Structure 1
Amino acid sequence: MNTEQPLSKNLLYLAAGTAAILLIPFTAMQFTSEVVWTLSDFIFAAVLILGTGSTYLFVTRKSGTTAYRIAVGLALGTGFFLIWSNLAVGIIGSEDNPINLWYFGVIAIGIIGAFISGFKADGMVITLSAAAMAQALISFVAIFGGYYQSPPSSVIEILGVNGFFVTLWLVSALTFRYAAQKETENHPPE
């Protein structure tokens, strides 16, 4: 007996959840001048939330393992948070610091690696490990290249924030590794 909800119903829930999330800044704008979103901010946020959520639904819809679903959620959540924070305030200095554009390379590694690996758990381990290494490399380039000085970010801030994202990428990779092991146990090679 299949207890899974149809994809269309899940997409409807995702759209409703996205609208509910976007009501938060919209409501805040009515009461404070601290929150100032433009129409393009709302559109971008909606596309990012809907895109991340629908990617999760499509990638995990045929997966039977909980570990795989958790790993996909971790990877997508990390990518979402990296994009959101980078565009909102910037990882190094302000959002206007050109080195922050390099973080989109980390996202590209994740997307390209996912497609090359066919979203298979074994391939995602390699992909997310590469994303973690790229994230770490950016922080070292920023520090040793002096990019953190204008606008200023402390070395500790750069190492801390990038270390946080590196950790998330690696936790996701390890969760995919666990999922791959479970798949092998459930379906041993012949």
Structure 2
Amino acid sequence: MAWWKDLGKDSISGVIVALVTGGGGIALIVWLWNYIKQFFHWLINILSNPVTLPLWALLALSTLLLVILPTIGFVMRRRGTSKDTGQKGIFFGYKNDTIFEMLVSWDWYKGYGDRGYSLNNLQMRCPKCGGLLSEHSSIAYYNYTPYPIIKCEFKGCDWKVAPEMERLNYEDMRTRLAREIDRRCFQKFGN
């Protein structure tokens, strides 16, 4: 019978919540009833007034408004973005650079609802042969990581990462590259 007590307790609390919220809604409508009534009288008065314009004038005015209002909105949006176009155009064009002796390329991405842009598709390439750089791992030796960790994937390429970067794994290198790109963007395009 324990389930009956739980069911009864939850049902009663649900009814109480419904009564309180419903009562609050009704109280709000009663409190605002005079304003709601005035709004509906005003709306009915506007809709019931006779139109003294001929039909051709009403159609011409409607067509003119349908053309002019979107055009004005488009011009205002274009003017607002044209002020920043100079720097933003150059900013979005900055998609590759040589950083820490590596060829680095990326894209700019703006997520839905985000205010700013972020890096996307960050790739590191060998400056010698152009091959992709990847994290080297050795499974043959337990708990042994040969340095440098990041190496060129292209066989026969003997390029090595800078000595101060030898012990960084791939994610740490990407984090450092993102910070360096941010710093360079701020220096080149910041105010």
Place the TM-score, normalised by the shorter chain, in its bin.
Answer: under 0.3
Q: Which has the higher helix share?
A: 1
How does the TM-score come out when normalised to structure 1? 0.26
How does the TM-score come out when normalised to structure 2? 0.25
Query: If you compute each CA radius of gyration, which structure gives the higher value, 1 or 2?
Result: 2
